[in-house]
Chain A
C-alpha cells in the first residue's frame, strides 16, 4: 500500500511538472518576426518546484490528511446545526433586504462618481444574472449564448435611437421584448435538444450574433460600434448641460441648481437600482408560481414531469424567453449607461462571467446571485493587480464549486408551505 502511494505521489508530481514547466517556465517572446525563448525569472521556477513538492507530499499523505479535515470541529458542527425557525428566518430576510435597498438608495449621494458608475455596472450584472438564473438555476438549461440577448437589447436601443429617435423609456420595453422574441424563436427548435447539445447550440448562436454585429457594417457600424446613445430622461427632463431633445427641459434648470455631471451618473444608478429591484421581484414571483415549480420539476426529472402532463417545450420555452427578456432589459440599460456600444462588449467571456455569478451564488438562490454579482464585479476593481488573474480565478472557482459545493455558496431554500389541517 505504501509503495503504491509513493508511486502515485511520484506520478502526480511528475505530471504537475510536465504541465507547468514548459508553459510557465519558458516564455516565448516575439521580436519583430522572429521568436525567441527565454527562461522565466527565478521566482516562477521556484514556485513551480514548490508546487511539485506540495503535490507530491499531498498525494503521499492524502488519506491521512482527508481524515483530519473531516474531523475539523467547524465542519462537523455545521453538518448538525438545526435550521432556524422558518417564519423567523423569512422575517429577518425581508428586513435585511429592505435595509439594503434603502441603503442603496441613499449611498450614491455620499461617494465618488466612479464608485456610483461601478455600482451601476454591478446592478446591470445583477439583472443579467437573475435572468440567467431562471434559465440555468431553475430550469436547468445551460445557456452559453446568453450575452446574445443582452446584445439584442443594447443594439435595439442604439438603433432605435439612431434611426427613430426613441428615448430610453420607449426603447426599454421594446428592447426587452425583442430579446424575448429572439429567445422564443431560437428556443422553439433547440429546446428539444439534450442539455449538453443545448449548451453548444446557444454558444454557437451567441457567436453568430456577434459575428453578424461585427460584419453588418451598414447597419451596426461593425467593430466601430454605435455611439451617441441618449441618456434616460426624468419626465422629459434631461441631465446633459444642454437640452438635445425637442420639448425637453434640463434637470438643473427646472430645479434651479447648478449643472453637475454627477446628477446624470446618480440618476442612471437609481434607474438601474429600480429596474434591478423590479427584476428581482418579478422573478421571485415567478418562482412561487406554477410556472416556477414546473421549471424546477423539469430540471429534476423531465420524464416524470412529462408523465404528469407538463409540456416540455412550453415549460422550457417560458424559462428561456423570460431569461432572454431580462437580458434584453439589462442590455438597454447598459447601452444607455455607456452611450456607446460595440460587439466587443458581447463576447463569450461575458456569458461566462454571468454564468460564473450564477454558479457561485448558488443556482436558484436570488440573494446568493446578488452577492456573487457584487463580489465578482467589485473584487477585481478593488485590487487592480489582482484583476489580471480574474478570469483564471473564475475558472478555478467554477471547477472547485462543482466539485465541492455544487449547490453554490448560498443554496436555494425551499419555500415552506403551510397546510391548514382539518382535524
Chain B
C-alpha cells in the first residue's frame, strides 16, 4: 500500500511537470512545423513570462490587491502579453531576415538570441534566484500519517486544469479559426500557401505569438510550483520541452502533449526511485535514444527526403 502510494505520488508529480513541459513544447513544435527551425530562444521567452508574472504579482501586492483569482488572472495576462511581444520581436529581428538561408544560419541566430535574452534579464533583474510566492496552498492527502502520505496539492490541480484549458483552446483555434486553418496550410506547404494569397509572414508571426503566450502560462505555473526563478531556468526547461516535442514527434501538437507527459513522468520516477541529480541525464539520454531509433517521434509523420 505504502509503495503504491509512493508510486502514485511520483506519477502525480510527473504529470504536473509534464503538462507544463507540454505547454512549452507547443511553441517548439508549431514553429518547427511551419518554418522547420528550432527556436532556441523559446526557453528564454518562457523565463521572461515567469519574470513578468512575478513582477505583476509583486506589483499588485504593493498596490494592496490580494484577491487571489484577480491576481492570478492579471499576472497571467501580463505575462502572456510581454512574452508574446517578445516572441513577435524575436522572430522579426533574428529569424525573418535569415529565413531560407543555409540551415545553420537561423540556428546560430537563435542561439545568439537565447544568450542575449538570458543576459538581458540577468542584467536587469540580477542573477540570483528570487522567491516566487506559492499563492495556492493546501491539497488532498491520502494514506495514514504514520507511514507515507501521498498528496495532490491544489497547485497541481490548477496546473492540470489550466493546461487542459489551454490545450483545448489551442485545438479549437487551430481547427476552427481562419488563422488556425491558414497555419495548417502554411505548415503543409509554405510556398503554395503564399501563392494562394495567405499572408505567410503574418501566419509565422502568429505562430511565434501563440507559442510564446503558452510558454508564459507555463512560466507562471512552474514559477509558483517551484517557488523560485532565475535567469537561467528557461534554458534547461526549454531543453526539456524540446525533448518532449521530439519525443512526441516534432510538428505534431498532440505529440507535444504526449511527449511532455511521458518526459515528466520519466523524470519524476527517476528522482523518486534513483536520485534527483540524474533526472537530467535520464531526459537527455532519452532524447538521444529517441532521435537514434525513432527520429520522427511517437506521433510524427515520416519524412521523405526530397531530391
Given contacts A207-B280, A211-B277, A398-B112, are A19 and B86 in contact (CB under 8 A)?
Answer: yes
Residues B116 and A392 in contact, CB atoms below 8 Å apart:
yes
B275 smallest CB distance to A (angstroms): 8
Residues B58 and A142 in contact, CB atoms below 8 Å apart:
no
Residues B85 and A15 in contact, CB atoms below 8 Å apart:
yes
Chain A, 228-272, CB within 8 A of any chain B CB: none
Q: Which of A201, A391, A398 contacts B288 (CB 8 A)?
A: A201
Given contacts A23-B48, A23-B52, A204-B239, are A142 and B278 in contact (CB under 8 A)?
Answer: no
Residues B284 and A15 in contact, CB atoms below 8 Å apart:
no
Residues A23 and B116 in contact, CB atoms below 8 Å apart:
no
Residues A189 and B128 in contact, CB atoms below 8 Å apart:
no
Q: How large is the interface on B (under 10, 10 to 19, 20 to 34, 35 or more residues)?
A: 35 or more
Q: How far does the alpha carbon of A388 sit from the alpha carbon of B127 in the complex, in Å?
A: 11
Residue picked from B98, B117, B119, most chain A C-beta under 10 Å: B119
Contacts of A406 in B (CB 8 A): 98, 101-102, 105
Residues A30 and B117 in contact, CB atoms below 8 Å apart:
no
Residues A403 and B103 in contact, CB atoms below 8 Å apart:
no
Chain A, 17-35, CB within 8 A of any chain B CB: 18-19, 22-24, 26-28, 30, 33-35
Residues A395 and B55 in contact, CB atoms below 8 Å apart:
no
Contacts of B65 in A (CB 8 A): none
Contacts of B81 in A (CB 8 A): 18
Q: Which of A190, A196, A205, A395 contacts B107 (CB 8 A)?
A: A196
Contacts of A403 in B (CB 8 A): 94, 97-98, 109
Q: Which residue of chain B lies nearest to A391 when distances are taken between CB atoms in the complex?
A: B119
Q: Mark B275-293, 1 if CB is under 8 A from A, else 0.
A: 1011011001101100110
Q: Mark A198-229, 1 if CB is under 8 A from B, else 0.
A: 01110111011001101100000000000000
B111 at the interface (CB under 8 A from A): yes
Q: Which of A18, A26, A355, A359 contacts B55 (CB 8 A)?
A: A26
Given contacts A23-B48, A190-B288, A190-B291, are A355 and B108 in contact (CB under 8 A)?
Answer: yes
Contacts of B280 in A (CB 8 A): 207-208, 211
Given contacts A190-B291, A195-B104, A406-B105, are A396 and B278 in contact (CB under 8 A)?
Answer: no
Given contacts A140-B104, A196-B37, A207-B280, are A399 and B295 in contact (CB under 8 A)?
Answer: no
Contacts of A205 in B (CB 8 A): 284, 288
B299 at the interface (CB under 8 A from A): no
A118 at the interface (CB under 8 A from B): no
Q: How far does the alpha carbon of A35 sit from the alpha carbon of B125 in the complex, in Å?
A: 12
Residues A199 and B38 in contact, CB atoms below 8 Å apart:
yes
Residues B112 and A399 in contact, CB atoms below 8 Å apart:
yes
Contacts of A19 in B (CB 8 A): 82, 85-86, 89
Q: How far does the alpha carbon of A401 sit from the alpha carbon of B119 in the complex, in Å?
A: 18
Q: How far does the alpha carbon of A208 sit from the alpha carbon of B192 in the complex, in Å?
A: 42
Given contacts A37-B55, A193-B291, are A394 and B124 in contact (CB under 8 A)?
Answer: no
Chain A, 367-415, CB within 8 A of any chain B CB: 388-389, 391-392, 394-399, 401-403, 406
Q: How far does the alpha carbon of A103 sit from the alpha carbon of B238 in the complex, in Å?
A: 46
A315 at the interface (CB under 8 A from B): no
Q: Which of B62, B126, B128, B295 contacts A36 (CB 8 A)?
A: B62
Given contacts A15-B89, A203-B239, A211-B278, are A402 and B284 in contact (CB under 8 A)?
Answer: no
B93 at the interface (CB under 8 A from A): yes
Given contacts A196-B37, A394-B115, are A201 and B291 in contact (CB under 8 A)?
Answer: yes
Q: How far does the alpha carbon of A197 sit from the alpha carbon of B239 in the complex, in Å?
A: 12
Contacts of A140 in B (CB 8 A): 102, 104
Q: Which of A28, A194, A395 contacts B54 (CB 8 A)?
A: A28
A348 at the interface (CB under 8 A from B): yes
Contacts of A201 in B (CB 8 A): 287-288, 291
Q: Which residue of chain B lies nearest to A40 when distances are taken between CB atoms in the complex?
A: B124
Q: How large is the interface on A (under 10, 10 to 19, 20 to 34, 35 or more residues)?
A: 35 or more
Q: How far does the alpha carbon of A178 sit from the alpha carbon of B233 in the complex, in Å?
A: 32
A171 at the interface (CB under 8 A from B): no
B106 at the interface (CB under 8 A from A): yes
Contacts of A195 in B (CB 8 A): 103-104, 107
A274 at the interface (CB under 8 A from B): no
B16 at the interface (CB under 8 A from A): no
Q: How far does the alpha carbon of A229 sit from the alpha carbon of B89 in the complex, in Å?
A: 48
Residues B131 and A33 in contact, CB atoms below 8 Å apart:
yes
Residues A399 and B277 in contact, CB atoms below 8 Å apart:
no
Chain A, 281-330, CB within 8 A of any chain B CB: 303
Chain A, 342-377, CB within 8 A of any chain B CB: 348, 352, 355-356, 359
Residues B284 and A207 in contact, CB atoms below 8 Å apart:
yes
Q: Which residue of chain B lies nearest to A300 when distances are taken between CB atoms in the complex?
A: B102
Contacts of A22 in B (CB 8 A): 51-52, 55-56, 78, 82
Residues A23 and B51 in contact, CB atoms below 8 Å apart:
yes
Q: Mark B290-307, 1 if CB is under 8 A from A, else 0.
A: 011001000000000101
A144 at the interface (CB under 8 A from B): yes
Residues B281 and A208 in contact, CB atoms below 8 Å apart:
yes
Residues B101 and A395 in contact, CB atoms below 8 Å apart:
no
Contacts of A144 in B (CB 8 A): 111
Residues B307 and A303 in contact, CB atoms below 8 Å apart:
yes
Residues A199 and B107 in contact, CB atoms below 8 Å apart:
yes
B117 smallest CB distance to A (angstroms): 7
A188 smallest CB distance to B (angstroms): 10
B191 at the interface (CB under 8 A from A): no
A126 at the interface (CB under 8 A from B): no
A136 at the interface (CB under 8 A from B): yes
B200 smallest CB distance to A (angstroms): 18
Residues B108 and A398 in contact, CB atoms below 8 Å apart:
yes
B279 smallest CB distance to A (angstroms): 9
B289 smallest CB distance to A (angstroms): 9
Contacts of B97 in A (CB 8 A): 403
Contacts of A37 in B (CB 8 A): 55, 58-59, 62
Further pairs besides A23-B82, A34-B131: 12, Cβ < 8 Å: A19-B82, A19-B89, A22-B51, A23-B124, A26-B59, A35-B131, A193-B292, A196-B37, A199-B107, A398-B112, A402-B106, A402-B112
